[in-house]
Amino acid sequence: MTDPILSLRQVNKSFGPAHVLKGVDFNAYPGEVMALVGDNGAGKSTLTKCIGGIHPIDSGEFRFDGRPVRVHEPRDAAGLGIEIVYQDLALCDNLDIVQNMFLGREERSGLLLDRAAMEEKALKTLADLSVRTVSSISQRVSSLSGGQRQTVAIARAVLWNSKVVILDEPTAALGVAQTKQVLDLVRRLADAGLAVVLISHNMNDVLSVADRVSVLYLGRMAAEVKRADLGHTQIVELITTGRSGALGLAPAETGEIVNGTADGVPAS
């Protein structure tokens, strides 16, 4: 088995009295799509922001490419090759595709912007991803469909020689055809050797494109399993209860009442 390029071990994160991540282990493997799923409040957003350097972890180990690292801010994560495409995409409607792809990282020739160099790199990135849904890189983002916008945001993420790309609900609010286009692109990212983390509530998307599935339940990692070993019902059970048969968290970790107690507290 390929070693994970991104590996978190026993990561904890609290905000005041709220213990949001509780001893979480998480891996992302090169050439694979890791689906990260869980109910609202399970800790997916917090875990993503810890990986991206928005929230520093309180304790635990953060390893990248086989070595321990410290990620204190988004610049640290980007320097490692970690890029995150958030659900809002963070695109500027009044700018064209090239300007959005290089926003904040513009290339210059002396004191002037080097538009030709940026266009060349943007075209190469889109071509490498086999993107055929964008007719012109000079189009303003305001004229693009939802699927095209998602494509531009993903292309921007991989433009910088990234090794890990995290996609937060990339098919939310997309139609059937646009969803297929985006999922095909996600698959091509993994096939190109990147580690892709797909955060999604859509089980059809997860089952169609993921190689592995990690399930968060109330701040704990309930399971990391190969997609081939899981079915739709098992994933839903893990998301909603933290367990599915013998797979998942121990009853005491899910709050399940065992021998008259729940998490060590006598049941009323």
The alpha carbon of 9 is separated from its chain's Cα centroid by a whole number of angstroms, namely 17
Quick one: which of 159, 175, 63 has its CA closest to 107?
Answer: 159
Instruction: Assign 40 to helix, strand or coil.
Output: coil
The Cα–Cα gap between 55 and 57 comes to: 6
CA dist., res. 22 & res. 250, Å (int) = 14
- In Å, how far from its chain's centre is CA 39? 15
Looking at the structure, give the CATH architecture of the domain made up of residues 6-81+162-266: 3-Layer(aba) Sandwich (3.40)
Write down the pTM of the prediction.
0.89
What would the pLDDT profile of 205-262 be if each residue is shown by its tens digit?
A: 999 999 999 999 999 999 999 999 999 999 999 999 999 998 999 887 876 544 444 4
pLDDT for res 1: 53
Closest of 189, 195, 101, 179 to residue 147, by C-alpha: 179
> Using N-to-C axis directions, what is the helix angle for 146-158 and 115-128, rounded to 10°?
110
CA pair distance 263, 251, nearest whole angstrom: 8
Give pLDDT tens digits for 77-133: 999 999 999 988 889 999 999 999 999 999 999 999 999 999 999 999 999 888 888
Domain ranges of the chain: 6-81+162-266, 91-159
Q: Return d(Cα 207, Cα 217) in angstroms, integer.
A: 19
